[in-house]
Amino acid sequence: MKPQFDLTLYLVTDPRLSEGDLPGKVEQAIRGGVTLVQLREKNTDSRKFLETTLQVREITDRYGIPLIINDRVDIALACDAAGVHLGQSDIPCTIARKILGPNKLIGVTAKTVEQAVQAEQDGADYLGCGALFPSGAKPEAQPMTLSTLSQILAAVDIPVTAIGGINADNLHLPVEAGVNGVAVVSAILGQPDVSAAARKLREKIEAANPSG
């Protein structure tokens, strides 16, 4: 059976912000209100990535939080993670689904309505849409307007999370537009008190949610 998942506060890790104790920071973030964790390790060899993933999965399993692996279908399989998140230049969603089977989650990055509709047709479980604002974690990310985000929300039936430069001051914009959650990196991991930062974001999300 496919894992249940909640996109409300979606943490994406960044090795530059979590050197030394990534599992500890992930645990603090979960205690603060993070509902899903995506492990992103861009410049790490496969063995080290797997070791890190297994350490983080001990934490996410303890709290019943799904662990999503960025890009790497092989690592997701090796550690029996909840699923993967794929960018537009990664392995296609249809191929990932054949490899992972029907019981894993697949998220896909979509920057246009066409990409969003295609991802849904290809079997994606949710979309990551952005970069909504300038992002320190991915300064090269193509910007997305709130208008495009609204068009994507109207065009698909699967859940959507917004990403890219989202923080406590601007998250109300995508939430009020109707996203199912927001994905953040530095707004949690770049803060002195990770748990308090996550708690503040969660409170802001709930306050801005038009459905209550």
DSSP the chain: -PPP---SEEEE--GGG--S-HHHHHHHHHHHT--EEEE--TT--HHHHHHHHHHHHHHHHHHT--EEEES-HHHHHHTT-SEEEE-TTSS-HHHHHHHH-TTSEEEEE-SSHHHHHHHHHTT-SEEEE---S--SS-TTPPP--HHHHHHHHHH-SS-EEEESS--TTTTHHHHHHT-SEEEESHHHHTSSSHHHHHHHHHHHHHHH-TT-
Average pLDDT, the chain: 95
Choice between 19 and 68, residue whose per-residue pLDDT is larger: 68
pLDDT of 140 > 90? The answer is no
Query: What amino acid occupies position 110?
Result: A
| Per-residue tokens: 4 | 């249940």
* CA pair distance 79, 62, nearest whole angstrom: 15
- What was the pLDDT predicted at 15? 85
* CA pair distance 145, 21, nearest whole angstrom: 35
Is residue 136 within 8 A of residue 35, CB to CB? The reply is no
| pTM for this model (two decimals) | 0.96
* CA pair distance 93, 115, nearest whole angstrom: 11
The model's confidence at residue 43, banded by pLDDT at 50, 70 and 90, is: confident
CA angle, 14 then 73 then 77, to 5°: 105
Choice between 83 and 134, residue whose per-residue pLDDT is larger: 83
- What was the pLDDT predicted at 13? 96
pLDDT of 9 > 90? The answer is yes
- What was the pLDDT predicted at 137? 65
The model's confidence at residue 204, banded by pLDDT at 50, 70 and 90, is: very high
CB atoms within 10 A of CB 183: 25
pLDDT of 212 > 60? The answer is no
- Give the closest residue to 36 by CA, choosing from 59, 15, 5: 5
Which residues, other chains included, contact 41 with Cβ-Cβ below 8 Å and sequence gap of 6+?
13, 15, 48, 49, 52, 70
* CA pair distance 171, 33, nearest whole angstrom: 15
Domains of the chain: 9-208 (3.20.20.70)
- What was the pLDDT predicted at 23? 95
pLDDT digits (tens, 9 = 90+) for 142-174: 789 999 999 999 999 999 999 999 999 999 999
pLDDT of 17 > 90? The answer is no
